[in-house]
Amino acid sequence: MPRPLDLSLDLIARAHAVPVADDESALRLLTDEELGPGLDRIIEERAGGGDLWVFAYGSLMWRPEFSGAESRIGTVRGFHRRFCLLQRRFRGTPERPGFVLALDRGGLCKGVAFRLAGADLRETLMPVWRREMRGKGYVARWLPVETHGGTVSALTFLVNRASDRYSGRLTDTEIADKIASACGHMGPSAEYLFRTVEACARLGIHDRHLWSLQALVAERLRACEGGGAVATQD
């Protein structure tokens, strides 16, 4: 099992005690009408019938946008979990963007496969589609997910490398600098990191990238408490 976390909600709250107002101009969100054609296409691309699955590897693990009929620990191969998607709204600002997770090319990722109940695919998928796709940061694919009950085909959200929010491959130190200093109207970027690591720990999933980042971010927030300054963005 991973060692106890360095990062905590108390530490994060003390470092980001001042609320941040929402700035709708920081990220235009697609409407349901604009999202509809893409959702229709992904439903058409679904091979065969059977159960409907969604693969979660970040905030969907701890705040799913659906009521799962079943969940299984699962592994996706060919993609790895990484903080590579800038967030200039919600948990960051244009001046101090935070990060959210996405799947990028290479390696593998262990997460949770959720089986969704619902006869109408469009109606069942729209809530999670709206949440993940309205900011243009992701592309959706049906990927095989290996689980203890067999391999399932799950809707999976990968990073959109064509998006201006895609950061490329920064070092953990560079990512930690941004996460430690970023806060939006939904709260600090560090809270998103903490809750994801906490969920992984609870599920027995160890990800070296996440554990390295939570230690680096905690170090920066403690330095801020000691009279230093949380790293600012360029």
What distance in Å separates the CA atoms of residue 162 and residue 97, rounded to the nearest whole number? 18
Active site residue 70: no
Q: Where are the alpha helices (DSSP H) in the chain?
A: 9-15, 32-45, 59-62, 121-133, 172-181, 189-203, 208-225
Q: Catalytic residue among 132, 191, 198, 225, which?
A: 132
Give the pLDDT score at 1: 47
**What residue ranges in the chain does DSSP mark as E strands?**
52-56, 68-87, 98-116, 138-147, 150-159, 183-184, 187-188
Residue 23 in contact with residue 94, Cβ under 8 Å?
A: yes
DSSP secondary structure letter of residue 20: -
CB 66 within 8 A of CB 128: yes
Positions in the chain whose pLDDT score sits under 70:
1-3, 226-234
Q: Under DSSP, is residue 140 helix (H, G, I), strand (E, B) or coil?
A: strand
What is the reported pLDDT for 65?
84
Phi (first) and psi of residue 66, to 5 degrees: -160, 165
pLDDT given at position 2: 56
pLDDT of residue 232: 42
**pLDDT of the residue at 226:** 66
Q: What are the φ/ψ torsions at residue 139 (nearest 5 degrees)?
A: -120, 150
3-state secondary structure of 120: coil
- Relative to beta strand 150-159, strand 52-56 is parallel
The pLDDT of residue 234 is: 39
| pTM score of the predicted model | 0.93
Q: What pLDDT score does 230 carry?
A: 57
CATH (one of 3.30.420.40, 3.30.70.60, 3.40.50.150, 3.10.490.10) for 9-224: 3.10.490.10
Adjacent-strand bridge partners of 154: 53, 143
3-state secondary structure of 80: strand
Q: Domain map of the chain by residue range?
A: 9-224
- In degrees, rounded to 5, the angle at the alpha carbon of residue 143 between the alpha carbons of residues 209 and 206 is 25
CB 34 within 8 A of CB 107: no
User: What's the pLDDT tens digit per position in 152-180?
Assistant: 999 999 999 999 999 998 999 999 999 99
Q: What is the pLDDT of residue 136?
A: 96
Q: Tell me how far apart the alpha carbons of residues 17 and 33 are, in angstroms, rounded to a whole number.
A: 37
